[in-house]
Structure 1
Amino acid sequence: MPAQFPWLTTLIVVPLLGAAVVWALPGAARRHARPVAIGVALVELVLAVVAALSFDTSQAGVHQLAEKAAWIPSLGVSYAVGVDGVGLALVLLSVLLTPLVLLAAWREHPDVHPDGLHVEGGSRIRHYVALILVLEAFMVAVFAARDVFFFYVLFEAMLIPVYFMIGAFGGAGRRYAAVKFLLFSLAGGLVMLVGVITLYLHGPRGDEGFLIDNLVGNVSMSTTTQRLVFLAFFIAFAIKAPMWPVHTWLPDTAEQAPVGTSVLLVGVLDKVGTFGMLTLCLPLFPEASRWAAPVIIVLAVISILYGGLLAIGQQDLMRLIAYTSVSHFGFIVLGIFAFTSVSVQGSSLYMVNHGLSTGALFLVAGFLVARSGSARISDHGGLQKVVPVLAGTFLVAGLSALSLPGLSTFVSEFLVLVGTFGAYKAAAVVAAFGVVLAALYVLLTYQRAFTGPVRDDLPPMKDLTLRERWVVGPLIAAMLVLGFYPALALDLVREPASVTLEQVGVDDVTPTLALSVDGSDQ
C-alpha cells in the first residue's frame, strides 16, 4: 500500500518556505512581497481544501491525515500530527483568513516607520507579510499537533511573530501592548511547562512518552497531582482564550495592533486556548476536569456578562470588538465544561463561527478607521448615507456577532445554551442574558456610527473598493452558508464531541427539545 501523502506537513512547510522567499526578495523585487505572499497563501488554501477532501467525515472523531516521526527520542518527543473534525475545521479557518488578511493589508504599512524613519522600498511590508506566513504555519501546526511537547513548543513559538507584528507595526502604544501580550502569554506558558514535565514523569515515558494517544488513560497520578497539573494547563489556556479575569491583555492589544494581526490573533490564535481545553485538558485529566467544571462554568458566565457589559461602554471600536470576544469565549468555555454532546458540539462550532464573524468585524472596522482616521465611535455618524456598502457589511458582521438567526453564530450559540441547560440550568439562563447584551452593543454602535445626520467634520470617504469587497465577501458568504446549512460544519464536530464525553467519563444529557440542526434526533 503506497504511503499517504504528508498533507499536514506540506501545509506547515509551504507558508514557511513562502516566508523565506519573501524575506529573500532582492532590492527592487521587494515591492512584489504582497502578491508573492498572497500567492503562497492561496496555494496553501487550495492544498488545505484538497487535504480536507481526503478526510472521512463519517470517522471525524478519529485523528486522520496522521504522520509521526521520532524527533528527540531520548526525551520522549515526537513529531506527530493529525486532525479530527475539530482540528480540521480550525485549520481550514486559519488558511481562509490568512489570504484575506494579506489582501486587506495591500495598502497598509508604507515604507515609513511609525517613528518617522524612512525604510527602504518594500522592506517594511515585506517583513509584515512574511511574519503572517510564519504565523500561518504555526497555526496549522498547533491545531494538528498530537505530541504534548510539540504542542507546547508551537504554543510558545506563536508568540514570536505576533509580538513583532504588534510591536513593529502597531499604533502609538504598540510597545506597551506588545510587552503586555508577551508577558501574559509567557507567564501562562511557564505554568504550562511545569504541567508538561509533570505529565511526562507520571506517564508511560519511553521514546514516545509525550504522544497524546499514549498519555490518554495511561497517566498515573494522585488526585491532588492531577488537579494541580490540570490547573497548570487550564491557566495557560484561559490566558490565551482569553477568559475573565486574565483577559486584560486583549483590549490593549486589539486597540494597538494592526487590523490584520487582530483578525488572526482573536479569530484564530485565541482558539488555541479553547482547543487546548477540549483536546488536552479533558482527555488527559478527566477527573480533574469534572472536579473543576462547576467553578469554570461560573467563570465562563462571568466572562459572558462582563465582556458584554464592558463592550457597551467602549468608545474605541477595536476595544469594543475585543470585549465582545471575551463574551463569546465565555460561551465557548461554558459549552465545553457543561459536558453534554450538544454543548460540546456548539462550542466546537462556535470556535469556527466566531473566527468568521469577528474577523469580518475587525476588517470592516479597519476599513472604516483607515478612511476616517479615528477609531472613536463618537467621531462618526450618518455613515450609511456616505458609505452604504461599508455600513451594510458592518451591520451583517455585527448581526452575526449577536447571533441573528440565519447567520452561522446563531446555530453554535443555540447549541451551547440548549446543551448547557440540560446539565446546568441556572448557568444557561444567566448566560442567555449575554444575547441581550450582544444586541445592545452591536445595535447601539451601529446607531451611533452609521445612522443619523452626517457629521460635518468627517473627511471625504469612498465606499468599499473592489479589493475590500473581495476581503469581506467570502466571510459573509461563509456566515450565510453555515447559517442556513450548518451540517457542513456539524458533520465535523459531532463525532469528536461524543469521543470527548467518553474520555471524560460522563453520561450525556440530551434535552428533549434538542434536535440537531440538520433535522436528526440527537
Structure 2
Amino acid sequence: MSALLLLLTLAVAVAVFFVRGDAVVFGRWASGLVLAWTVLMGVLFDFGEPERMQHTTDWAWVPGLGIRFHLGVDGVSLPLVVLTALLTFLCFVHLGRRDTAEPGLLAALLLLLEFGMLGTFLALDLLLFFVFFEVVLLPMFVIIGRWGGPGRRHASYKFIIYTLVGSGFLLVGLLLLASGAGTLDMVKIAEAHGFGITHGTQVAAFAFLGIGLAVKAPMWPLHTWLPDAHTEAPTVGSVLLAGVLLKMGTYGFVRIAVPGLPEGASFWAPWLGCLAVVGIIYGALACLAQTDLKRMIAYSSIGHMGFVLLGISTLTAVGINAALFGNIAHGLITGLLFFLAGSIKERYGTGTLAEIGGGMLGRAPRLGSVLTFACVASLGLPGLAGFWGEMMALVGSYRPSAGLPRETFVTFMAVAAIGAVLTAAYFLRLLGRITHGRPSSGGALVDVRPLEWAAWTPLIVLILLVGLWPKTLLALTDAPVRALIGAG
C-alpha cells in the first residue's frame, strides 16, 4: 500500500498539467483521494503491533550499491503520513475560493511537495530517505519565490541555500552510518542499536546527521531561514512548511540518528538539549518583539520545536514520545494559525499588528473566537493538543536516560518551563491587542466563510481530540519508540 500511495500522489501531480478545467478543484479531489488512501492504511493498520513495519514494499532499486526501494509504516510514521495528507488536502480547500495566478502550476507543485513529504516518512532505506528529503526543496522554493510576498526572492534563496548546505551534512552522516553498519536498511540499523560501529564513527556521524536535520527542524542557531520563509510564503506554503516540513528534521532524529547511533546520541545529547532550551527562550523573546502576525507565528515555531528537540535529547521513551506528540500537535495548531493569519491579512489588507488594531471579537466574532482557540492551544492550555508534548518533554528532562548528566537536564527543564510561561505571555499579549479593545477602524468584517470552516474544522476537532484523549497518539507511538531505543 505504501508504494501505491506514492504512485498515486505522483500520478495526480503529473495529471494536473493535463486538466482543462479548474486545476485547484482537481487538486482538491486528487489530494482528497490521497488522504482517503492514508486513512485506509490507518484502518488496515494492526494497532496491536504498532512497532512492526506494515504496508511494506521492498524492491531492488540499485542492486550494485545495495540500494532498495524499501517503504513501510509503523506507529511512529503513520500519524505523520496522515497529517501530511490532511494538511495538503486542507490547503486545496483553502485555495478553492481564491483567484490564484497559474493555478495549474501551483496545484502540481503542492502535489509534488506532498509526494516528497510522504516519501520521507515512508522510506526505510537511507539513500531513499535522502532522495525524498531533497524532493521537497524545489517545490517549496518555487512556491515561496513565485507566490510569496514582496520579499519572496530573498526568502526563497535563503531557504534553498540553508537547506542544501544542511543536506550536504546529512548525506555525509548517512554515508558514515551506512559504512559503519554495513547496510542501508533503516530497520536493520535500528535493530542493531549501533552494534559494530565504533565510538568515534558514531560521534562523527551523529554530528553530521544532527546538523543536517537541525537545519530542517529548525534548531537555534540554524533557524534564521525560517522567519523570512514563513513571512513571505503564501498561506498554503506556510501551512505545509510549519505543519510538515519542520517535522522531517525531528523525524530523522527519532528514526535514524538516535537508534542507529546510540553512543553518538549520548555524547551529543547534552549539547542538543542546551541548544533546544536556548531556542525555546529565544523563540519566545523574539515573539514578544514582533510587529507582524505571520512573523510572530514563525518565531513561535522555533520555540515549540525546541520542546520537541528537548524531548529527543533525553533519550528516554517519555521524552521521545513527547517529541512525536509535539510534532503532531504543532502541525495541527500551527497549521490552523497560519490559515488564520492568511484570512486575517486578506480581510485587513495587512499583517502588521498595529494596523490590524483591536476589536476583532466585535467585528468578526467567529474569526476572533477561532483565533483565540488556536492561540490558547499553542500556549499549552491543558485539555488541548499543545499541552501534552511540552509537559512530557519537561518530565523527560527531569529523568533523562542513564548516563546523561541529570543535574544538567533538570536545569534544562527549569529553563524550558520559563519558556512555557513566556509563550503564554506573547500569545495573551497578541489576543489582547487584536481580539479585544477598540477597533482601529470601524465597520464589520466578513466573518468566517463556509470554505474556511471546511478547512479549519478538522484541525479544531483533532486539536480537541488529541488534547482530551492523548492516548490516541501515545498508544500508537510508545511501543515503537521503546523498540527504537532498546528499552523493551
How high is the TM-score relative to the length of structure 1?
0.89
Residue 95 (structure 1) shift: 0.9
Residue 202 (structure 1) shift: 2.9
CA distance, structure 2, for counterparts of residue 441 and residue 101 of structure 1: 27
CA distance, structure 2, for counterparts of residue 375 and residue 412 of structure 1: 29
CA distance, structure 1, for counterparts of residue 174 and residue 320 of structure 2: 25
| Equivalent in 449, 452, 467 of residue 437 of structure 2 | 452
The 1:418–1:202 alpha-carbon spacing in structure 2 relative to 1, beyond 3 Å, is closer
**For structure 1, which segment, 353-362 or 424-433, has the greater mean C-alpha deviation from structure 2 after superposition?**
424-433
2:367 equivalent to 1:390:
yes
CA distance, structure 2, for counterparts of residue 270 and residue 333 of structure 1: 11
Residues 127-177 of structure 1, C-alpha deviation per residue, up to 9 Å, x if partnerless? 111111111111111101100000011111110111111111111111110
Paired residue for 2:147?
169
Paired residue for 2:476?
492
Which one-letter code corresponds to 1:66 in the other structure?
T
CA distance, structure 2, for counterparts of residue 226 and residue 344 of structure 1: 20
CA distance, structure 2, for counterparts of residue 213 and residue 463 of structure 1: 49
Residues 449-506 of structure 1, C-alpha deviation per residue, up to 9 Å, x if partnerless? 12111112x686201111111111110111111111111111111112211321xxxx
Paired residue for 1:155?
133
SS of residue matched to 2:71: strand
Paired residue for 1:520?
none
2:223 equivalent to 1:247:
yes
SS of residue matched to 1:68: strand
2:118 equivalent to 1:140:
yes
Paired residue for 1:280?
256
Contact 1:48–1:92 (CA under 8 A) maintained in structure 2? yes
Which one-letter code corresponds to 1:485 in the other structure?
W
Contact 2:308–2:389 (CA under 8 A) maintained in structure 1? no
SS of residue matched to 1:168: helix
**For structure 1, which segment, 75-84 or 247-256, has the greater mean C-alpha deviation from structure 2 after superposition?**
75-84
Matches within 5 A, 1:84-233: 84-108=74-98, 110-111=100-101, 124-204=102-182, 209-216=183-190, 217=192, 220-233=196-209
CA distance, structure 2, for counterparts of residue 412 and residue 196 of structure 1: 28
Residues 288-333 of structure 1, C-alpha deviation per residue, up to 9 Å, x if partnerless? 0001001111111101111111011101111101110000011001
Paired residue for 1:466?
450
Runs of 4+ in 1 over 4 A off after TM superposition: none
Paired residue for 2:405?
none
Paired residue for 2:13?
19
The 1:493–1:214 alpha-carbon spacing in structure 2 relative to 1, beyond 3 Å, is closer
Matches within 5 A, 1:419-430: 419-423=396-400, 424-430=409-415
Residue 74 (structure 1) shift: 0.8
Paired residue for 2:68?
78
Which one-letter code corresponds to 1:298 in the other structure?
C
SS of residue matched to 1:66: strand
Residues 363-387 of structure 1, C-alpha deviation per residue, up to 9 Å, x if partnerless? 0111000111101111112111111
SS of residue matched to 2:61: strand
Paired residue for 2:37?
47
Paired residue for 1:271?
247
Q: Which has the higher helix share?
A: 2
CA distance, structure 2, for counterparts of residue 409 and residue 291 of structure 1: 30
CA distance, structure 2, for counterparts of residue 347 and residue 482 of structure 1: 14
Paired residue for 1:289?
265
CA distance, structure 1, for counterparts of residue 278 and residue 26 of structure 2: 44
Aligned length: 477
Residue 58 (structure 1) shift: 2.2
Residue 42 (structure 1) shift: 1.0
Residues 312-362 of structure 1, C-alpha deviation per residue, up to 9 Å, x if partnerless? 110111110111000001100101111222221111111101100000000
Contact 2:76–2:481 (CA under 8 A) maintained in structure 1? no
Paired residue for 2:406?
none
How high is the TM-score relative to the length of structure 2?
0.95
- Alpha-carbon RMSD: 1.5
| Equivalent in 431, 439, 442 of residue 427 of structure 2 | 442
The 1:340–1:214 alpha-carbon spacing in structure 2 relative to 1, beyond 3 Å, is closer
SS of residue matched to 1:78: strand
Residues 23-44 of structure 1, C-alpha deviation per residue, up to 9 Å, x if partnerless? 1124xx2xx1111111011111
Which one-letter code corresponds to 1:368 in the other structure?
I
- Percent of aligned pairs sharing the same letter: 35
Residue 109 (structure 1) shift: 5.1
CA distance, structure 1, for counterparts of residue 270 and residue 452 of structure 2: 44
Paired residue for 2:403?
none
The 1:203–1:109 alpha-carbon spacing in structure 2 relative to 1, beyond 3 Å, is farther
Which one-letter code corresponds to 1:447 in the other structure?
G
